[in-house]
Amino acid sequence: MRILGIDPGLATTGFAILDLHAGQKKLITCGVIRTSPKLRLSERLLEIEKDMKAIIQQYKPETCSIEQLFFSKNVTTGIAVSHARGALLMALETFKVPFSEVSPSAMKRALTGDGRADKKMIQKMVTLELGLKEVPKPDDAADAVSLALSLACTLR
């Protein structure tokens, strides 16, 4: 099964493609979609949707794990992420890719057994589970890998 992990953001959206076959997990690729703050909001959202459609067309994921919107202290950032998530969900719907919305704590629990695990523990589990020599970079891509991997762990 091919899994797409998405860490949504307006400036930077992380993505990861992971294959799960016979219990074996393999990272195919990961990276980020970046948009310029000089562009209008609508232009940035169109860029996110267009780039995600290209990723979906190229890698043909069968399912997706996208981070659930979580408001903490900065509501303004949450609104921007919400806009980006809308563009990403439109891209997923265009290609009929089913998706799961995963909270940060659910992702942490799936990978470590602890919903309050810190970033270092998550990164360690990602490298161990996928046999990587180092944590994927940048952080948004690494977060997308952890989202894809958390879904893979529930599909075993």
Q: Which of 52, 152, 54 is CA-nearest to residue 107?
A: 152
Please say if 67 is a catalytic residue: yes
Alpha carbons 48 and 12: distance in angstroms, whole number: 9
Alpha carbons 92 and 125: distance in angstroms, whole number: 27
Tokens 């704590």 appear where? Answer: 105
Alpha carbons 143 and 86: distance in angstroms, whole number: 19
Strands 2-7 and 24-34 come out as unpaired
Catalytic annotation, pick one of 49, 129, 140, 143: 140
Tokens 């000089």 appear where? Answer: 38
Please say if 7 is a catalytic residue: yes
Q: Which residues pair with 99 in a beta bridge?
A: 64
Catalytic annotation, pick one of 7, 49, 129, 143: 7
Please say if 19 is a catalytic residue: no
Catalytic annotation, pick one of 51, 67, 129, 143: 67
Q: Which of 136, 115, 28 is CA-nearest to residue 150?
A: 115
Catalytic residues: 7, 67, 140
